[in-house]
Amino acid sequence: KQRKYRNREYYQIIGRSRKNYWESISRRINREAGSNFTGIQCRRKFNNLVSHYYDICYFMCGDDRGKYTDIGERYFGEFNTLFWHRPVSMIQNVQRTNVSTHRRRNRDNVR
């Protein structure tokens, strides 16, 4: 849940190192759950959950790369929103809309 709610923060980090981000996630989890996870463990767990999500997606489509997993099924609904993807800004939304409208108008004018 921490990774989900802090997705925008994740993508606003300058540079490639997100060590401090994952350490802050682990501190929050440890405080709330009384556990002792490291940032690396939290990152690996999250990446494994994403892998299980894709495994079940491929499985549902009949793709040979997929496989059924209990974890994939358990978290499918949560991960089906693709919340971990880079958020799209308002400007990018407008630009995409303008480009698709422009292409459609050009396509219609050619006929």
What does the pLDDT read at residue 86? 87
Give the global pTM: 0.74
What does the pLDDT read at residue 102? 55
What does the pLDDT read at residue 88? 77
Encode the chain in three state secondary structure.
CHHHHCHHHHHHCCCCCCHHHHHHHHHHHHHHHCCCCCHHHHHHHHHHHHHHHHHHHHHHCCCCCCCCCHHHHHHHHHHCCCCCCCCCCHHHHHHHHHHHHHHHHHHHHHC
Mean pLDDT by 10 residues, the chain (111 residues): 93 92 97 97 96 94 91 91 82 60 62 55
What does the pLDDT read at residue 76? 93
Q: Where do the structural domains in the chain lie, given as residue ranges? A: 1-86
